[in-house]
């Protein structure tokens, strides 16, 4: 049983690197320009990372996003680690494996 508060479950699901990014984002008062300077990358790169982090938070916070494994797969897609076609294939295969065989 998961003892994590539903209000914090999304935060507990994030990787340490994402939490560090989020902390720096808050410390920079949400300045993407400042984050770009800190990470020594372009503004669009920081914007993309933030957009992906927002998607991951939505996935982990969405009770309708399936079980923990499905949410993890969706988070990988949100993070750009797998493409949409691969996500669909993995979800279909996973759901079939969970279906009781007659």
**Amino acid 66: pLDDT:** 85
Angle at which helix 68-78 crosses helix 43-61, to 10 degrees, equals 170
Query: Does 46 fall in a domain?
Result: yes
Number of domains in the chain: 1
Q: What is the pLDDT of residue 94?
A: 93
Residue 17 lies in a domain: yes
- Sole residue written with tokens 């933030």: 50
Predicted confidence at residue 1, as pLDDT, reads: 42
Query: Hey, is 20 helix, strand or coil?
Result: helix
Answer whether residue 69 is part of any domain: yes
Q: Which domain holds residue 27?
A: 9-98
Q: Is residue 1 part of a domain?
A: no
pLDDT for 2 equals: 52
Q: How far apart are CA 28 and CA 3, in angstroms?
A: 32
CA distance 57 to 14: 8
How confident is the chain (102 residues) per 10-residue block, as mean pLDDT?
66 92 96 96 96 92 85 91 95 90 68
* 2 assigned to some structural domain: no
What is residue 102's predicted lDDT score, i.e. its pLDDT? 63
């Amino acid at each position: 049983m998961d003892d994590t508060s539903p209000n914090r479950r999304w935060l507990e699901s994030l990787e340490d690197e994402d939490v560090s990014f989020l902390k720096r984002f808050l410390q920079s008062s949400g300045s993407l320009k400042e984050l770009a300077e800190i990470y020594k990358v372009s503004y669009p790169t920081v914007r993309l990372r933030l957009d992906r982090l927002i998607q991951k938070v939505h996935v982990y916070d969405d009770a309708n996003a399936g079980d923990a494994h499905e949410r993890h797969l969706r988070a990988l897609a949100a993070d750009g680690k797998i493409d949409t076609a691969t996500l669909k294939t993995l979800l279909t295969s996973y759901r079939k494996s969970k279906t009781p065989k007659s």
